[in-house]
Amino acid sequence: MSLDDVPRSVYTDDHEAFRATVRQFLQKEVAPNAAKWQEEGIVPKSIWPKAGELGMLCPTVPEEYGGLGLDFGYNAIVDEESSYYGGAATGFSLQSDIVANYIIRYGSEEQKKHWLPRMISGETITAIAMTEPGTGSDLQGMRTTAKKDGNHYVISGSKTYITNGQNADLILVCVKTDTEIEPAWKGMSIVLVEADREGFKRGRNLDKIGMDEADTSELFFEDVRVPITNCLGEEGKGFIYLMSELPQERLSIAVSAMASTQKAFDETVGFARDRMVFGKPLLDFQNTRFVLADLKAKLQVGWAHLDWALARHLKKELTPEEGAAAKLWHTDLQWEVMDKCLQLHGGAGYMNEYPIARMWRGARVTRIFGGTNEIMKELIGRKL
């Protein structure tokens, strides 16, 4: 089985033609290099312009800023194909699904005209810096500040667990521009910081238990001066902007999780057909068939729900709690499938040479990033 065997209701023929282009790129440029990048702990910047040439980066950017002006379905296809066929976390989805939207919706004309074309081409790699060493999902507790000094901000603080942190040329930094105002969220802003600014330093490329190829970093801001015009949108509106964009971020996580879940299942069915136990294929044992049958039924439900959520989002109707529910359910399903599929591999599942081991390790973080699944339950519960 493959992604082509999954019946979908949300995509058009144009979407599927784009899928073929994306898949060919991933199979040629990404999958053969995935093991090397995992060993090196980073995806080379040179792969980004190649993806940009094919329209894989930021496809939703309006044509007036050099984009294709397409819908989020094209982003979702890149996410699905990358999770199923790429074998490496490239960082593309962060740029296309998250950062681009902030600049499109809240950026000044100058910011849009300068940065969006570079993001589309892959010339500029972006990151968004929310999390700090002492604060995880509690964004209101951040301590990084941006104090006014004439027509500049002076940024001081640190961030951690930042995806694309080593490669990023531009970082959207969440800061406190007003530390006195109550409630605290009213004093939060988002400021664009170029990586060549004096006082900006990258810390270590963090050693993770999975997604080894994804550069995840500490970032330090030691009196970094940036023009006040680098503020994204209005000062003090950063928290509102973050809350407005999180449904798409969480849907993006759900899309990638669902595709990697299908990949783990398909890999395991193939393994169970070939693996001989007591003189017969592992798939011939009733326990194996029952476990896989249960997972297949859940996959069927998962794809139906994902298409429902994508359709809602394409119509701009996906609510924050629906986005949270999608992230919660699909990443929980991902972990259930990964764990049961690894168990069916037996001892082989514990060996990194088997794809299921790498997928299992990589899946562990999806219930944490984008807001922990415990926070997702809290967000959903508040609307009961």
Active-site residues, by number, are: 249
Distance from C-alpha of 211 to C-alpha of 342, rounded to nearest angstrom: 17
Radius of gyration of the chain (CA): 21
* Cβ within 8 Å of residue 368, ≥6 positions away: none
Angle in degrees, CA 77, 83, 88, rounded to 5: 125
Distance from C-alpha of 128 to C-alpha of 119, rounded to nearest angstrom: 14
Residue 169 amino acid letter: D
Angle in degrees, CA 331, 91, 259, rounded to 5: 35
Distance from C-alpha of 213 to C-alpha of 296, rounded to nearest angstrom: 29
Whether the ω angle into residue 183 lies within 30 degrees of 0, i.e. cis, is yes
What does the DSSP 8-state code read for residue 236? T
- Residue in the block written with tokens 């928290």: 239
* Cβ within 8 Å of residue 349, ≥6 positions away: 341, 342, 343, 356, 357, 360
Angle in degrees, CA 249, 31, 120, rounded to 5: 45
Angle in degrees, CA 358, 167, 364, rounded to 5: 25
Distance from C-alpha of 29 to C-alpha of 16, rounded to nearest angstrom: 20
What does the DSSP 8-state code read for residue 352? T
Q: DSSP strand E in 177-236: where?
A: 188-194, 200-205, 216-227
Distance from C-alpha of 49 to C-alpha of 31, rounded to nearest angstrom: 17
Structure tokens at 253: 């996580």
What does the DSSP 8-state code read for residue 10? S
